[in-house]
Structure 1
């Protein structure tokens, strides 16, 4: 983890962050950044599985220590959006980026949650979901390599039905897509989120629908405190980008970044491309 106060730095894609002086070093040293007693849970942090992410206590503490409401926080390796969520609920503006489009979509989904009327509509919509007819929906399944190896026809059709239905809602697209994405591994023959191996599972369309409704209920519950802390109508200060961290974020004024807080990627720690394609 790197937390750097950048008020005195020209913004240069965070290249100068490594040599920047840590402001208020005494307070920084007093904090046990491993947070051994952390019980950080809740909000939308668990919206989608994401191995090797840092705990919310780290960006939360850095944001509280080095920024004020309205300040700009950046994370060029946003992963599943932990920094974005903590910045959003702390009334900070933020820019987060990642080379992985799924990461950026998850970060957006965690912060741009359904409004109360939209959430009520989603609940009613979910109650009306049905078991798909394979003959009608299997044609909507993308022609991906080894699809039949990882998904039965019935399950693939059920997933295609759910995706088509949620895209017809007309709102909360990122949030709903990520709830849907969060059940894919469980609906497949992949062993787990961190084990890329095929195993036989008793997965049925009924089980897929049960999984989706359960994840959706949990996601809506986690979104409730986000709605009370984040202004859904004012998203100007929240930016999500598919971005190469070797380049500066576009449209960022010099000396405008108050804090960069991020967990840099660790080569070979986890093959995100393999598990997320």
Structure 2
């Protein structure tokens, strides 16, 4: 059996045995909640198959940075792009390398939060966003603002990055938002003490993760941009491999589920909502057709083709869609679009979504089984 056939066979074996995958929160992967996360083993095996140490791997819709973490751990330079600033914050934090100064500053902040005698910072200024008091108890808002003020006092950029990401990770949990993927208010009895306790625990956990990542990841570079994948800030033919899992059409509203985080961190929600590809807001609320999703993804694939080196692989992991009761096979549509752009399809592997992403299989007006497609194209 030739080398390429061996690779294809081993990939088929891997995706046929996804049921056995465990340890999805290793390294920094568990540092921040994020809807519909890429399980790390998928980019890990694609990176191992299609690149070599020292290569540059791009994820143009990087989400919570799973591909970037796996690339760095494998000794590849990593590039990430996402239109959502919360995503780029998470991705940067999960791939940052701590020096002694940053580690010392974060330990001091954790010690302060553990002190048990934390009062609200003086001259607190709460962010003034619509329905703030609907989503947050005043006591909770004052605690979050106090933490933000403490973060602003940090000197190290990497300490600040990790501290902001840790704050972002608890915002929804201490709010009245029902869950990470449910934009509904529900009552709770949380107080400022709960906020300080949750923050210090998360920051302490993430510091341990970051130190481990710093020790485990070889000396490679990671760069993340808050930008649109349809207009990548990357030079022509500069990337050895692209591994990405774009938003599945009509499945999630990433801008909505991260809205409260954006308010607290000072990000503008509007351009994220308008620029997000595949949101339920666009396909269910605004009734945009699947063709509008594929038009955006055509632009993304075109940009991927531009920045990829000759013979580089472009690996896309994408799920089927149901829009107003109509089923769309995403694998077929992506394959057709890639062919129109001059990209040759090297392989296509499928697995059923319901085993791994239950949220994608309920309430969409059809009983047809949706699949996730692992598509590999060659420039």
Q: Which TM-score bucket, shorter chain as reference?
A: 0.7 to 0.9
Of residues 82, 85, 95 in structure 2, which corresponds to 1:101? 85
Aligned residue number for residue 252 of structure 1: 235
Whole-angstrom distance in 2 between the partners of 1:96 and 1:133: 37
Q: Aligned-pair distance for 1:205?
A: 0.6
Whole-angstrom distance in 1 between the partners of 2:9 and 2:147: 52
* 1:12-54 C-alpha deviation (Å, 9 max, x unpaired): xxxxxxxxx9994344334326621111322111111101011
Whole-angstrom distance in 2 between the partners of 1:95 and 1:218: 25
Aligned residue number for residue 195 of structure 1: 182
Whole-angstrom distance in 2 between the partners of 1:33 and 1:161: 49
Q: Structure 2 regions of 5+ residues with no counterpart?
A: 260-379
Q: Which moved more, 1:23-32 or 1:68-77?
A: 23-32
Q: Highest CA radius of gyration, 1 or 2?
A: 2
Whole-angstrom distance in 1 between the partners of 2:177 and 2:105: 33
Of residues 63, 80, 88 in structure 1, which corresponds to 2:72? 88
Contact 1:166 1:176 in 2 (8 A): yes
Task: Go from structure 1 to structure 2 and tell me whether the alpha carbon gap of 1:259 and 1:23 turns closer, same or farther (over 3 Å shift).
Answer: farther
Structure 1 position 182 matched with structure 2 position 169: yes
| Aligned-pair Cα RMSD in Å | 2.2
* 1:175-216 C-alpha deviation (Å, 9 max, x unpaired): 110101111112111122122211111110111000001111
Whole-angstrom distance in 2 between the partners of 1:109 and 1:85: 10
Aligned residue number for residue 96 of structure 2: 112
Whole-angstrom distance in 1 between the partners of 2:141 and 2:66: 31
Whole-angstrom distance in 1 between the partners of 2:174 and 2:13: 45
Whole-angstrom distance in 2 between the partners of 1:30 and 1:179: 37
Whole-angstrom distance in 1 between the partners of 2:53 and 2:209: 23
Name the structure where strand makes up a greater proportion of residues.
Answer: 2
Where does 1:228-243 land on structure 2 (aligned, <5 Å)? 228-230=215-217, 237-243=221-227
Name the structure where helix makes up a greater proportion of residues.
Answer: 2
Task: Go from structure 1 to structure 2 and tell me whether the alpha carbon gap of 1:220 and 1:39 turns closer, same or farther (over 3 Å shift).
Answer: same
Q: Structure 1 regions of 5+ residues with no counterpart?
A: 1-20
Contact 2:81 2:227 in 1 (8 A): yes
Structure 1 position 71 matched with structure 2 position 58: no
Whole-angstrom distance in 1 between the partners of 2:110 and 2:51: 40
Q: Aligned-pair distance for 1:136?
A: 3.5
Whole-angstrom distance in 2 between the partners of 1:105 and 1:22: 39
**TM-score normalized by structure 1?**
0.83
Report 1 or 2 for greater relative contact order, CA contacts < 8 Å, sequence distance ≥ 6.
1
Aligned residue number for residue 151 of structure 1: 136
Q: How many residues align?
A: 250
**TM-score normalized by structure 2?**
0.62
* 1:40-90 C-alpha deviation (Å, 9 max, x unpaired): 322111111101011000011111111111101011110100000001111
Aligned residue number for residue 123 of structure 1: 107
Task: Go from structure 1 to structure 2 and tell me whether the alpha carbon gap of 1:96 and 1:34 turns closer, same or farther (over 3 Å shift).
Answer: farther
Deviation >4 Å, runs of 4+: 21-24
Contact 1:132 1:205 in 2 (8 A): no
Whole-angstrom distance in 1 between the partners of 2:246 and 2:215: 30
Task: Go from structure 1 to structure 2 and tell me whether the alpha carbon gap of 1:245 and 1:184 turns closer, same or farther (over 3 Å shift).
Answer: same
Where does 1:25-64 land on structure 2 (aligned, <5 Å)? 25-32=8-15, 35-40=18-23, 41-64=25-48
Whole-angstrom distance in 2 between the partners of 1:161 and 1:128: 12
Task: Go from structure 1 to structure 2 and tell me whether the alpha carbon gap of 1:33 and 1:94 turns closer, same or farther (over 3 Å shift).
Answer: farther
